[in-house]
C-alpha cells in the first residue's frame, strides 16, 4: 500500500504553467503531484493574466516573486537561482503546449504536458527528439492511466486470460456540451476554436484518453481507421462535437471509438471493453475501482481494487492508498502517475537507465500516438470517411 514513506531527500522543485484560478484541471495536477511528497510546488506562471497569477500563487503559499507574469520569465529567472525549478507541468489550452514544452526542455526541465500534446505529429516528434537529446523525462497527462484496475486489465490480457484479442470498443461520450454552452463558458469557448483547440474537439479532448487506454491495455497496434465526425451544434464547425471511428488492428482485431460531448444525459460514459476469444473485460471510469470480467459460459464477475485475488505483484495494481471497498478516484489515479513521473525524473537525473527502463508511464511517445490519431481521423472524416492507413 502507498503511504508517505517513499520520499526524496529533497522533493523535486516543481512549477506549473497554466492551471490557474478557475481552470478545470489545475487543481488535479497540484493534488496529484504533491500527494506523495515527491514534488513541491515552488513557482508558477499559472494564468494568462499576470495580476491574477500573482494573487493566486500567493494564496497557494508561494513566494510572490515566484508567481511569474509569463512562462519565459519563469524559466529564465528560475534558471538563475540555485534553488530553481527542476520540473514543470503544462496545463494551458492546446495551442500553447508545443512552444511551452520546447522552452521548458531548452531550460533543462523535466516536463509533464497535458493532452493533446501538440497540434501536429511532427511537433510532437520534435518534442520527443528534444527530450531524448536533453535526457529529460517527458510525461503526458493521460490521467486515467493510473487507476489500478486498468493495470489489472492490462496484466490479464498480457497473461492470456482473455485469449487472443478480437474486439476493442472504446467510448468517452458525455453530454455537457449538448447545447451551446461556449456562449458563457470560457473553458468551452477555446475548445470550439480551431486556432486554440487544434484540428479536432472531442477526438482530442476525450478520444485520446480512451485511445491511450486501449493501447496500454492490449498493446494492439492500429493498421488503418475510418472516421466520421459531426458538429451537431452547427456553430462549432469545422470542429466536431461527435465522432465515430472504426479501427482495424495489425493482429486482426477490430474496434470502435465513440467520442462525444453531446451524449445528452450522460455524465462521462468513458468505457473500454476488450473482447478476447475466451473472455471479455470492461472498465468504466465512473466506477473505476471495479473491473467486469466475463468468461464465456460463466456468470459475470466484478473484480474489486485492493483484493488479494488480483495480480498484486505487478507494479500499478497494488498502488492502493486505502483498502478495498473504500472508493479511490481520480486524484489517486493522478497521484499514481505523478509518483512514477517523480521516480523517473530522479532516475534520469542520476542516469539510472535500469530504473528508467523498468518504469512505465505515459510518455511523449504516447503523446505522439495521440496526435497521430487526430491527424488520421481528421484526414479520414474530411475525405468522406475514407479508410486511412495509420
Ligand atoms: P482552462 O481554460 O480551464 O484553464 C486554462 C488555464 O491556463 C487558465 O488558468 C489560463 O489563465 C491559463 N493560461 C492560458 N494561457 C496561458 C499562458 N500562455 N501562460 C500561462 N497560463 C495560461 O483549461 P483546462 O480545461 O484546464 O485545460 C487545460 C489543458 O488541460 C488542455 O490542454 C486540456 O485538453 C487539458 N485537460 C486535460 C484533462 C485530463 O484529464 N488530463 C482534463 C481537462 C483538461
Domain containing residue 297: CATH number? 3.30.360.10
How high is the pLDDT of residue 283? Answer: 98
pLDDT-flagged residues of the chain (< 50): none
How high is the pLDDT of residue 37? Answer: 92
How high is the pLDDT of residue 4? Answer: 77
Residue of 17, 28, 73, 92 with the most ligand 1 atoms within 8 Å of its CB, for mutation: 92
Query: In this structure, are 359 and 379 located in the same domain?
Result: no
How high is the pLDDT of residue 68? Answer: 98
Angle between helices 364-381 and 121-134 (to 10 degrees): 170
C-beta of 25 in contact with ligand 1 (< 6 A): yes
Structure ipTM: 0.99
The parent domain of residue 246 ranges over 147-318+369-389
Kindly report the CATH number assigned to the domain that includes residue 16: 3.40.50.720
Does 267 map to a domain? yes
Query: In this structure, are 171 and 131 located in the same domain?
Result: no
Helix (H) or strand (E) holding 292: strand 290-295
Question: Quick check: 117 and 140 in contact, CB under 8 A?
Answer: yes
Task: Pull the grid cell for residue 293.
Answer: 470480467
Query: In this structure, are 91 and 160 located in the same domain?
Result: no
Query: In this structure, are 158 and 108 located in the same domain?
Result: no
CA gyration radius, the chain: 21
Does 296 map to a domain? yes
Does 189 map to a domain? yes
How high is the pLDDT of residue 15? Answer: 98
How high is the pLDDT of residue 6? Answer: 82
Number of domains composing the chain: 2
Query: In this structure, are 206 and 279 located in the same domain?
Result: yes
Query: In this structure, are 275 and 175 located in the same domain?
Result: yes
How high is the pLDDT of residue 254? Answer: 98
C-beta of 17 in contact with ligand 1 (< 6 A): yes
Query: In this structure, are 54 and 186 located in the same domain?
Result: no
Does 1 map to a domain? no
Q: If you take atom 18 of ligand 1, which residue's CA is the nearest one?
A: 48
DSSP state of 316: T
The reported pTM is 0.97
How high is the pLDDT of residue 186? Answer: 92
Does 327 map to a domain? no
Query: In this structure, are 176 and 103 located in the same domain?
Result: no
Euclidean distance between CA atoms 43 and 308, whole angstroms:
42
C-beta of 93 in contact with ligand 1 (< 6 A): yes
Query: In this structure, are 172 and 282 located in the same domain?
Result: yes
Does 332 map to a domain? no
Query: In this structure, are 256 and 311 located in the same domain?
Result: yes
CA of 112 to the centre of ligand 1 (A): 13
pLDDT digits (tens, 9 = 90+) for 162-220: 999 999 999 999 999 999 999 999 999 999 999 999 999 999 999 999 999 999 999 99
Query: In this structure, are 178 and 298 located in the same domain?
Result: yes
Query: In this structure, are 125 and 189 located in the same domain?
Result: no
C-beta of 48 in contact with ligand 1 (< 6 A): yes
Amino acid at each position: 500500500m502507498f503511504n508517505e514513506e517513499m520520499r526524496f531527500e529533497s522533493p523535486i522543485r516543481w512549477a506549473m504553467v497554466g492551471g490557474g484560478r478557475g481552470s478545470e484541471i489545475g487543481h488535479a495536477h497540484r493534488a496529484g503531484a504533491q500527494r506523495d511528497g515527491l514534488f513541491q510546488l515552488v513557482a508558477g506562471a499559472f494564468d494568462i493574466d499576470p495580476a491574477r497569477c500573482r494573487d493566486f500563487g500567493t494564496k497557494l503559499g508561494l513566494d510572490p516573486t515566484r508567481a511569474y507574469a509569463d512562462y519565459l520569465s519563469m524559466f529564465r529567472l528560475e534558471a538563475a537561482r540555485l534553488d530553481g525549478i527542476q520540473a514543470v507541468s503544462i496545463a494551458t489550452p492546446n495551442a500553447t503546449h508545443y512552444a511551452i514544452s520546447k522552452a521548458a526542455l531548452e531550460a533543462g526541465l523535466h516536463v509533464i504536458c497535458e493532452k493533446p500534446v501538440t497540434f501536429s505529429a511532427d511537433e510532437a516528434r520534435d518534442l520527443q527528439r528534444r527530450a531524448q537529446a536533453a535526457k529529460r523525462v517527458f510525461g503526458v497527462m493521460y490521467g486515467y492511466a493510473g487507476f489500478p484496475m486498468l493495470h489489472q486489465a492490462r496484466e490479464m490480457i498480457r497473461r492470456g486470460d482473455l485469449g487472443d484479442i478480437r474486439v476493442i470498443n472504446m467510448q468517452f461520450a458525455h453530454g455537457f456540451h449538448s447545447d451551446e454552452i461556449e456562449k458563457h463558458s470560457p473553458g468551452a469557448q477555446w475548445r470550439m476554436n480551431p486556432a486554440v483547440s487544434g484540428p479536432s474537439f472531442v477526438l482530442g479532448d476525450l478520444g485520446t484518453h480512451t485511445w491511450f487506454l486501449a493501447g496500454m491495455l492490449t498493446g494492439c497496434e492500429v493498421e488503418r481507421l475510418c472516421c466520421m465526425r459531426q458538429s451537431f451544434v452547427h456553430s462549432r464547425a469545422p470542429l466536431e462535437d461527435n465522432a465515430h471511428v472504426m479501427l482495424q488492428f495489425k493482429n486482426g482485431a477490430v474496434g470502435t471509438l465513440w467520442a462525444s460531448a453531446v451524449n445528452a444525459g450522460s455524465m462521462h460514459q468513458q468505457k473500454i471493453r476488450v473482447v478476447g476469444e475466451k473472455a471479455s473485460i470492461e472498465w468504466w471510469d465512473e466506477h473505476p475501482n471495479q473491473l467486469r470480467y466475463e468468461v464465456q459460459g460463466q456468470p459475470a464477475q466484478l473484480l474489486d481494487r485492493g483484493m488479494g485475488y488480483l495480480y498484486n505483484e505487478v507494479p500499478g495494481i497494488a498502488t492502493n492508498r486505502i483498502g478495498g471497498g473504500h472508493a479511490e478516484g481520480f486524484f489517486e489515479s493522478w497521484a499514481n502517475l505523478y509518483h512514477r513521473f517523480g521516480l523517473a525524473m530522479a532516475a534520469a537525473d542520476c542516469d539510472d537507465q535500469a530504473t528508467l527502463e523498468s518504469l512505465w508511464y505515459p510518455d511523449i511517445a504516447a503523446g505522439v500516438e495521440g496526435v497521430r490519431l487526430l491527424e488520421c481521423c481528421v484526414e479520414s472524416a474530411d475525405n468522406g470517411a475514407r479508410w486511412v492507413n495509420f
